């Protein structure tokens, strides 16, 4: 008897083809690997299944030899530590995501996006306690950064924004206390993010994850010595301003990332993203910078170690 057919999927839920390998090893500075947990942040709903082992094997094959996996809610903290313990190419960044913070504070308002907040059982834990759990996890040797934290004014209403600021400031303090890099989530909140960083004092190593700013924010980052990590959006046809910002950044402050499973680079925009698609973004960066691809890989590798240290 023939095996029953699996679920029919649209092309947008299937994995893209493997890109051409890079000439040198690079690190995915920010990704969400699949954890196999309920409400798994590393799996886009509806996507055809792929195991963690398959993801890591594909990444190795195209030159993405290391990755910073991001745990940004309390449910993913312990599974993320276990993942990094089992896979030496993976280290962890840990934090309470800006969109998680208001829910831990009991804020249930609908934000500018018009969507109700996704409340989960974990949100019964108070925000202070949630940040304390991040601090506890951050004592693990495989945790190399605090993040992603920051401000998200696309989803957060006025009440939520106040809680986001409090959470952001708590994470800044934690990163400085532990002398760990800070990975920032900044969505439609550039001015406010910079204001908080300057007022509280940024950690020694600060990274704008999935940099989405303009040349003015790039100039501020350059002046302050803050890193800009570029993801799939730098490849989008509509991202001329973002590419100008890339060109304005010192090469010594550049990083690259996927933010998988979302923000898939061109030409696969709309389909699921993965660590092994990072070469598409790196190639776009090299073209925009008029830089030899191998030279950029070497530069990104050096910058990565400056932020996170050796694996």
Q: What pLDDT was estimated at residue 309?
A: 96
Q: Give the model confidence (pLDDT) of 96-135 as tens digits.
A: 999 999 999 999 988 788 888 899 999 999 999 999 999 9
Least confident of 20-24, 47-51, 229-233, 295-299: 47-51
Q: Residues with Cβ < 8 Å from 279, sequence gap 6 or more?
A: 19, 20, 21, 22, 26, 62, 63, 64
Q: Is 238 exposed, middle or buried (0-12, 13-18, 19+ CB in 10 A)?
A: exposed
Residue 12 predicted with pLDDT over 80? yes
Q: Give the model confidence (pLDDT) of 156-169 as tens digits.
A: 788 999 999 999 99
Q: Give the model confidence (pLDDT) of 18-77 as tens digits.
A: 999 999 999 999 999 999 888 888 999 999 999 999 999 999 999 999 999 999 999 999
CATH topology of domain 27-113+120-308: TIM Barrel (3.20.20)
Share of the chain above pLDDT 90, in %: 88
Least confident of 37-41, 150-154, 197-201: 37-41
For the residues 202-214, what does the mean pLDDT come to?
A: 98
Within 10 Å of residue 128's Cβ, how many Cβ atoms? 12
Share of the chain above pLDDT 70, in %: 97
Q: What pLDDT was estimated at residue 8?
A: 64
For the residues 279-300, what does the mean pLDDT come to?
A: 98
Give the end-to-end CA distance of the chain in Å, rounded to a whole number: 49
Q: What pLDDT was estimated at residue 11?
A: 82
Q: What pLDDT was estimated at residue 9?
A: 67
Q: What pLDDT was estimated at residue 116?
A: 86
Q: Is 139 exposed, middle or buried (0-12, 13-18, 19+ CB in 10 A)?
A: exposed
For the residues 285-297, what does the mean pLDDT come to?
A: 98
Whether the model clears a pTM of 0.85, i.e. scores above it, the answer is yes
* Residue 235 per-residue DSSP state: G
303 contacts 252 by C-beta, under 8 angstroms: yes
Dist. CA 63–CA 73, nearest whole Å: 29
Q: What pLDDT was estimated at residue 279?
A: 98
Q: What pLDDT was estimated at residue 148?
A: 98
């Amino acid at each position: 008897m023939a095996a029953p057919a699996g679920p029919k999927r649209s092309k947008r839920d299937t994995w893209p083809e493997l890109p051409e390998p890079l000439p040198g090893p690079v690190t995915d500075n920010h990704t969400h690997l699949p954890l196999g947990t309920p409400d798994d942040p590393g799996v886009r709903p509806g996507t055809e299944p792929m195991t963690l082992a398959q993801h890591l094997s594909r990444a190795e094959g195209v030159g993405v030899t290391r990755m910073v996996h991001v745990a940004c809610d309390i449910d993913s903290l312990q599974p993320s530590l276990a993942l990094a313990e089992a896979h030496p190419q993976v280290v962890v960044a840990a934090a309470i995501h800006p969109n998680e913070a208001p829910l831990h504070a009991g804020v249930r308002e609908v934000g500018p996006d018009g969507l109700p907040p996704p409340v989960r059982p974990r949100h019964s834990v108070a925000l202070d306690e949630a940040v304390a759990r991040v601090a506890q996890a951050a004592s693990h040797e495989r945790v190399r950064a605090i993040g992603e934290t920051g401000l998200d004014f696309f989803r957060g209403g006025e009440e939520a924004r106040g809680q986001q600021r409090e959470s952001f400031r708590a994470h800044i303090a934690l990163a400085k206390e532990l002398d760990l890099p800070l990975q920032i989530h900044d969505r439609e909140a550039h001015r406010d993010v910079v204001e908080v960083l300057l007022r509280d004092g940024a950690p020694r190593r600060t990274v704008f994850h999935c940099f989405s700013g303009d040349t003015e924010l790039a100039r501020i980052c350059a002046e302050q010595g803050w890193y800009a990590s570029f993801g799939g959006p730098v490849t989008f046809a509509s991202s001329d301003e973002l590419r100008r910002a890339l060109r304005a950044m010192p090469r010594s402050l550049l990083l690259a990332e996927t933010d998988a499973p979302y923000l898939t680079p061109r030409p696969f925009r709309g389909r699921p993203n993965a660590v092994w698609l990072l070469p598409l973004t790196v190639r776009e960066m090299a073209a925009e910078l008029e830089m030899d691809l191998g030279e950029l890989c070497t530069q990104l590798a050096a910058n990565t170690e400056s932020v996170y240290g050796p694996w």
